[in-house]
């Protein structure tokens, strides 16, 4: 893992308009609201948080699926914010997104062979024979037999669809891959094989991962650092073991206390997270977590804490951290 950042994100925002029945804008959902972080080349950065916190929107904003409304995205030293379609096409092979549901991301009318060939046709000048050679090699590296090339997505299992989705990305030899819930919907045994595959592919292709997940056990096993998101913002960023051993933000502490123990019993005696997240179109004043925080004080309604260093490696957005 290199100390040089391959990706730098500075105060990134993405707001979705809220409209009434007449189509008039009445507000905005602040899916991302000033997100900043760096990803070092070769590392795996985990993004965790409750559903609706902005994890997937962040990943899609980085690859241009959701154009950001503000802030900067710097990839390999180049500002790629607001690029045109042609400019994005030059970046796309190096910055790839792995969808949460690989079955729906594959065209049901196309065979695996055609799905893997499409990005090579669009982004490279390889001859048909060279494309076939690269596809065959990628299939081997993701652990699928060549006979699967003539199958359709519905003929594959969930784990096999996941492998095809990874193969489709890897045909372009990317530098950074955004993995959106890469083990969701899979059996435990299949999850283990997919996670092992991700590690092997990272070594083989020198990949950098942005690992979006709600499964903290998987995040602990896979990630070098973890960013905790709440209501469109990062509230804590730390090395994985530091976060799990000594989380500083009350929201991070609440998430960790909800992890089942080895015997499968949920830890309820220290679980302090109650209620639902506030409406992202109308976030609370001050600290966004204060309406659910057991340590909330009057100052929390008046101060909107920024993400600040607690130690050289750990940052948190809390006035009490």
pLDDT score at 84: 86
Lowest mean pLDDT among 107-111, 194-198, 258-262: 258-262
For residue 286, being part of any structural domain is answered with yes
> 270 falls in which pLDDT band (50, 70, 90)?
low
Give the CA distances from residue 86 to residues 8, 137, 171, in Å, rounded to whole numbers and listed in that order.
Answer: 22, 29, 20
**Structural contact between residues 33 and 232, judged by C-beta atoms closer than 8 angstroms:** yes
> 205 falls in which pLDDT band (50, 70, 90)?
very high
**Which whole number is the average pLDDT over 4-14?**
95
Torsion angles phi and psi, residue 76, rounded to 5: 55, 40
Task: Report the C-alpha gap between 302 and 3 in whole angstroms.
Answer: 37
Among 102-106, 226-230, 264-268, top mean pLDDT goes to 226-230
Predicted TM-score (pTM) of this structure: 0.91
> What single string gives the DSSP state of each residue in 168-189?
HHHTT--SEEEEESTTTT--HH
| pLDDT, tens only, 119-151 | 999 999 999 999 999 999 999 999 999 999 999
- Domain count for the chain: 1
Which of 56, 83, 37, 38 lies closest to 234, judged by CA?
A: 37
Residue of 279 and 208 predicted with greater confidence: 208
pLDDT score at 4: 80
> What single string gives the DSSP state of each residue in 13-74?
EEEEEEE-TTS-EEEEEEEEEEEEEEEETT-EEEEE-STTSSHHHHHHHHTTSS--SEEEEE
How is residue 142 written in tokens? 């993701």
Residue of 187 and 178 predicted with greater confidence: 178
CATH code where residue 305 lies: 3.40.50.300
Task: Report the C-alpha gap between 150 and 289 in whole angstroms.
Answer: 50
For residue 135, being part of any structural domain is answered with no
For residue 33, being part of any structural domain is answered with yes
Res. 303: pLDDT tops 50? yes
Mean of the per-residue pLDDT values of the chain: 91
pLDDT score at 82: 84
For residue 120, being part of any structural domain is answered with no
For residue 145, being part of any structural domain is answered with no
Range of the domain at 298: 5-94+175-188+207-316
For residue 106, being part of any structural domain is answered with no
State the burial class of residue 266 (Cβ atoms within 10 Å of its Cβ: 0-12, 13-18, 19+).
Answer: exposed
pLDDT score at 268: 42
For residue 218, being part of any structural domain is answered with yes
| pLDDT, tens only, 159-172 | 899 999 999 999 99
For residue 291, being part of any structural domain is answered with yes
């Amino acid at each position: 893992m290199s100390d040089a950042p391959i990706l730098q994100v500075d105060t990134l925002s993405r707001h979705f308009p809220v409209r009434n029945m007449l189509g008039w804008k009445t507000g905005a959902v602040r899916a991302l609201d000033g997100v900043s972080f760096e990803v070092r080349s070769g590392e795996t950065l985990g993004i965790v948080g409750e559903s609706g916190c902005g994890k997937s929107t962040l990943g899609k904003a980085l690859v241009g699926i959701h154009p950001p409304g503000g802030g900067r995205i710097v990839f390999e030293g180049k500002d790629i914010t607001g690029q045109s379609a042609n400019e994005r096409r030059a970046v796309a092979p190096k910055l790839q997104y792995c969808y949460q549901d690989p079955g729906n991301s594959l065209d049901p009318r196309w065979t695996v062979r055609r799905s893997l060939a499409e990005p090579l046709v669009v982004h490279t000048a390889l001859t048909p024979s060279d494309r076939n050679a690269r596809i065959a090699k990628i299939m081997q590296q993701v652990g699928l037999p060549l006979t699967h090339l003539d199958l359709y997505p519905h003929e594959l299992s969930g784990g096999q669809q996941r492998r095809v989705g990874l193969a489709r990305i890897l045909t372009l030899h990317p530098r950074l891959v955004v993995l959106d819930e890469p083990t969701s919907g899979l059996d435990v045994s299949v999850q283990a094989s997919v996670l092992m595959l991700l590690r092997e592919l990272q070594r083989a292709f020198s990949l950098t991962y942005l690992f979006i997940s709600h499964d903290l056990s998987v995040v602990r096993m896979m990630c070098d650092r973890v960013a905790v998101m709440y209501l469109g913002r990062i509230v804590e960023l730390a090395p994985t073991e530091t976060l799990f051993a000594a989380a500083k933000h009350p929201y991070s502490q609440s998430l960790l206390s909800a992890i089942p123990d080895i015997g499968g019993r949920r830890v309820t005696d220290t679980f302090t997270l109650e209620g639902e997240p506030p409406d992202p179109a109308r976030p609370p004043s001050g600290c966004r977590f204060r309406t659910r925080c057991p340590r909330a004080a009057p100052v929390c309604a008046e101060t909107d804490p920024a993400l600040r260093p607690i130690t050289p490696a750990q940052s948190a957005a809390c006035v009490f951290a």
